[in-house]
């Protein structure tokens, strides 16, 4: 059994077939990431979260942790959700520089929930995203066995 890879505090897809299905499904996410103690937090969106976190970690003085994440069915929805969430944080005058905000993880989570409700964009958790990918893989394996 392979060891599950952890990226910024979250388990990640570790087999090549799982990663291929993930790419095929086209999921994208909005995330809040920052040092493990929180503050400041970067709010962003990505289709390739693992790669994005590795890029961000290179420029960060502390180990990064994902404090909140909302997956959705594609980059256009993630961009809409991201824009709504950062708009809320801008109204609260919490932006420091770029996409970094002076907010607690709880404040960022609340902004993302309000943005999700306001835009009515369906989202799912990181665990649900992993389950969706693994479910597709399981169904494909079962179909291959039936057709063999």
Question: 6-15, pLDDT tens digit by residue?
Answer: 777 888 888 8
Q: How confident is the model at residue 23 (pLDDT cuts 50, 70, 90)?
A: very high
Classify residue 26 as left (phi > 0), alpha (psi -120 to 50) or beta: left
Distance CA 73, CA 76 (A): 9
| pTM of the shown model | 0.90
| pLDDT(30) > 70 | yes
Contacts of 36 (CB under 8 A, 6+ apart): 9, 62, 63, 64, 65
Residue 118 domain boundaries: 5-141
Total residues found in the chain within this entry: 148
| pLDDT(2) > 70 | no
Residue at 148 is within a domain: no
Residue at 107 is within a domain: yes
Q: How confident is the model at residue 3 (pLDDT cuts 50, 70, 90)?
A: low
CA-wise closest residue to 21 among 122, 142, 138, 147? 138
Residue at 147 is within a domain: no
Residue at 28 is within a domain: yes
Q: Read off the DSSP letter of residue 2.
A: P
Identify the H or E element spanning 77: helix 75-91
Q: Read off the DSSP letter of residue 124.
A: B
Other Cβ atoms within 10 Å of 46 Cβ, number:
20
Residue at 33 is within a domain: yes
Residue at 146 is within a domain: no
Domain count, the chain: 1
pLDDT of residue 58: 87
């Amino acid at each position: 059994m392979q060891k599950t890879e952890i990226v910024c505090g979250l388990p990640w897809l570790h087999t090549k077939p799982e990663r291929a299905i993930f790419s095929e499904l086209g999921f994208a996410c909005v995330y809040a990431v920052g040092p493990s103690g929180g503050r400041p937090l970067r709010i962003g969106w990505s289709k390739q979260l693992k790669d994005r976190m590795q890029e961000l970690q290179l420029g960060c003085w502390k180990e990064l942790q994902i404090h909140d994440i909302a997956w959705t069915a594609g980059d256009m929805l993630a961009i809409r959700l991201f824009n709504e969430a950062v708009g809320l944080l801008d109204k609260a005058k919490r932006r420091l520089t770029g996409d970094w905000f002076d907010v607690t993880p709880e404040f960022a989570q609340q902004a993302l929930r309000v943005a999700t409700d306001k835009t009515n964009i369906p989202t799912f958790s990181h665990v649900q995203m992993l389950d969706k990918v693994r479910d597709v893989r399981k169904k494909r394996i079962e179909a291959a066995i039936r057709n063999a």
